[in-house]
Structure 1
Amino acid sequence: MDLFVILGEHQTMETERLILRPVSLNDTASLYEYASNIENTSHVYPTHLSTEETKEVIANYYLKAPLGKYGIVLKEENKLIGTIDLRIEPAHKRGEIGYVLNLNYAGKGYMTEAGLQLLHLAFDKLKLNQVKALHSTINPKSGQVMKRLGMKKIGVMPKNRIHKEKIVDDAIYVMTNTEYEEMKKAAH
């Protein structure tokens, strides 16, 4: 089956504490709450200077091509607390995970919970061979999430990209379908 059809069939997913669903303009205030905080955006994207800018990002990024892009909604507050993406390369049967979380909700395991759901989607539903994630080496907390997901660090790409006018090195983490199956067996 076409991988984008499968993504379309899984635009909303639920975990114990979270709902992963498409981001909408109704999420503007919640997304702006953390996208306007320089501490929250320093490693991901430009800090939003207005709710108008947040609306434009939602429309041009999340609404324009929604497949594989999820708002992370905390069930108990019915509030968007972050986003997580699974960008796939169908020709190579691989994907890449990226995420950002409102720092007010950090340290509670929400990103790990959302990430595990995306690995389930990637390996059990999409039948991908590999999923990678990367983080700049000046953002080790993101790497901690990758480790908790069971991903393995395979190296560092020096001077990999320019981010906010700085040249950054990226640590690369990977999980294969074989490693995912082993992780699932070990959990049972």
Structure 2
Amino acid sequence: MELLVTLGENQTLETDRLILRPVSLDDTESLYEYSSNIENTSHVFPTHLSKEETKEVIANYYLKSPLGKYGIVLKEEHKLIGTIDLRVDTEHKRGEIGYVLNLNYSKNGYMTEAGLEILSLAFDKLKLNQVNAMHSTINPKSGQVMERLGMKKIGVMPKNRIHKEKIVDDAIYVITNDEYKEMKKAAN
């Protein structure tokens, strides 16, 4: 439970260019902007067909249990440009991250910046042992983000899940608390 209290105390995080904060219904327009774009959602979740659907997703996913779920807000525009989650397994002190970014904002380092802040939360504050992430092998750009976060690919799980009526293989990436400390030390 101590981990959940720490997550509750860190519902808003800040980086140089971003604010990571809970998603609210006020974000419907921004979230719908990229969630209704099939290119943007092809690897993550079903494309939203209406703003009402986006509101339902916000209520049922982000508002129902908000701990570890962050909207990524670009400070200079005061606009939600994506989301990032840290799903914590309290029993084993590990986490899993997942993310999506509005493609109109890609290639600016925003997801790496948000991801590094989430890793700081995971290792510096929550004292987790490990953080993992996965992406379908047909989405290598997501793996590039994981590599920039210092995560190492540990393998591929063949035919791991069915996504949008296709069987997909998932690449699994991991970073441990020791690897994170070494990465941080090398950066300073």
Please give the alpha-carbon distance, in whole angstroms, between the structure 1 residues aligned to 2:13 and 2:135.
25
- Provide, for residues 116-142 of structure 1, a one-character-per-residue CA deviation record: whole Å limited to 9, x for no partner: 000000000000000000000000000
Please give the alpha-carbon distance, in whole angstroms, between the structure 2 residues aligned to 1:184 and 1:84.
21
- Provide, for residues 122-167 of structure 1, a one-character-per-residue CA deviation record: whole Å limited to 9, x for no partner: 0000000000000000000000000000000000000000000000
Please give the alpha-carbon distance, in whole angstroms, between the structure 2 residues aligned to 1:82 and 1:141.
15
Query: How far apart are residue 51 of structure 1 and its match?
Result: 0.1
Please give the alpha-carbon distance, in whole angstroms, between the structure 2 residues aligned to 1:184 and 1:141.
23
Please give the alpha-carbon distance, in whole angstroms, between the structure 1 residues aligned to 2:149 and 2:136.
18
1:173 corresponds to which residue?
A: 173
Please give the alpha-carbon distance, in whole angstroms, between the structure 1 residues aligned to 2:40 and 2:4.
31
Query: How far apart are residue 78 of structure 1 and its match?
Result: 0.1
Q: Which TM-score applies when normalising by structure 2?
A: 0.99
Please give the alpha-carbon distance, in whole angstroms, between the structure 1 residues aligned to 2:162 and 2:2.
34
- Provide, for residues 63-104 of structure 1, a one-character-per-residue CA deviation record: whole Å limited to 9, x for no partner: 000000000000000000000000000100000000000000
**Match status 1:159 vs 2:159:** yes
Please give the alpha-carbon distance, in whole angstroms, between the structure 1 residues aligned to 2:77 and 2:162.
36
1:117 corresponds to which residue?
A: 117
Helix, strand or coil at the partner of 2:91 = helix
Helix, strand or coil at the partner of 1:92 = coil
Query: How far apart are residue 172 of structure 1 and its match?
Result: 0.3
The residue type paired with residue 73 of structure 2 is V
Please give the alpha-carbon distance, in whole angstroms, between the structure 1 residues aligned to 2:101 and 2:187.
26
Please give the alpha-carbon distance, in whole angstroms, between the structure 2 residues aligned to 1:65 and 1:134.
22
Query: After TM superposition, where is structure 1 displaced by more than 6 Å over at least 4 residues in a row?
Result: none
Please give the alpha-carbon distance, in whole angstroms, between the structure 2 residues aligned to 1:44 and 1:184.
29
**Which runs of structure 2 are paired with 1:79-158 in the superposition (5 Å)?**
79-158=79-158
Unaligned runs of 5+ residues in structure 1 are none
Helix, strand or coil at the partner of 1:55 = helix
Identity %: 84
Please give the alpha-carbon distance, in whole angstroms, between the structure 1 residues aligned to 2:109 and 2:185.
22
Helix, strand or coil at the partner of 1:23 = coil
Query: How far apart are residue 58 of structure 1 and its match?
Result: 0.1
Alpha-carbon RMSD across the aligned residues, in angstroms, is 0.6
Please give the alpha-carbon distance, in whole angstroms, between the structure 2 residues aligned to 1:162 and 1:6.
34
1:186 corresponds to which residue?
A: 186
The residue type paired with residue 184 of structure 1 is K
- Provide, for residues 7-56 of structure 1, a one-character-per-residue CA deviation record: whole Å limited to 9, x for no partner: 00000010000000000000000000000000000000000000000000
Please give the alpha-carbon distance, in whole angstroms, between the structure 1 residues aligned to 2:61 and 2:181.
32
Query: How far apart are residue 59 of structure 1 and its match?
Result: 0.2
2:76 corresponds to which residue?
A: 76
Query: How far apart are residue 106 of structure 1 and its match?
Result: 0.2
Please give the alpha-carbon distance, in whole angstroms, between the structure 1 residues aligned to 2:164 and 2:171.
17
Unaligned runs of 5+ residues in structure 2 are none
Helix, strand or coil at the partner of 1:95 = strand
